[in-house]
Amino acid sequence: MRCPFCQNEDTQVKDSRPTDDKASIRRRRFCPACGARFTTFERVQLRELTVLKKSGRRVPFERDKLERSLDIALRKRPVDPDQVERMINGIVRRLESLGESEIDAEQIGRLVMEGLESLDQVAYVRYASVYRNFREASDFEKFLGKMTGTEEGYGEDD
């Protein structure tokens, strides 16, 4: 493993242990060249996944991109990082267990929406505003009306 500080390729593992959800291994590493310490995570990857975008483009699935989008939706929200990690692990496992190597971006968005709905309502609305491409305040009103059951709102066809 290359040191992220000095790029030395000869780093040493000082400690390894499974994460709380047992889905990955956390390794504490040390770089003898610069003395830096850093952490890496090792996860099982069942298959290479490809995301099929609306435009028809195919791009490799990136777990980090999923994490970043959730970080944005959950910014300044009182959500335990372990819950977020479990949610991400669950989404990735579900995608890998579909048996398909190509997955629609929309399917990933739906899984994220499902997870956020039960995790944090504010993050759910934030993510929905991007995922459903809200253009004006009335789009939020319709969506919130549907959430609270007080108004006809967005469905899968809207």
Strand-by-strand arrangement of the 50-52 sheet = 58-60, 50-52, 102-104
The type of residue at 31 is C
- For residues 11-32, average pLDDT: 88
Q: Is the pTM of this model over 0.85?
A: no
Judge whether 157 lies within some domain.
Answer: no
> 104 and 30 in one domain?
no
Q: Which residue has the higher pLDDT, 78 or 23?
A: 78
The verdict on 40 and 53 lying in the same domain is no
Residue 74, domain member (yes or no): yes
User: Domain check: are 66 and 125 in the same one?
Assistant: yes
- Considering the domain architecture, whether residues 35 and 64 belong to the same structural domain is answered as no
Domain count, the chain: 2
68 domain-assigned: yes
Q: Which domain holds residue 132?
A: 46-148
Whether 154 is in a domain gets the answer no
Mention every residue, 6+ apart, whose C-beta is less than 8 A from residue 69. 112, 127, 130
Residues 36 and 97 in one domain: no
Render pLDDT for 45-85 as a digit per residue (tens, 0 to 9).
Answer: 656 889 999 899 999 999 899 999 999 999 999 999 889 98
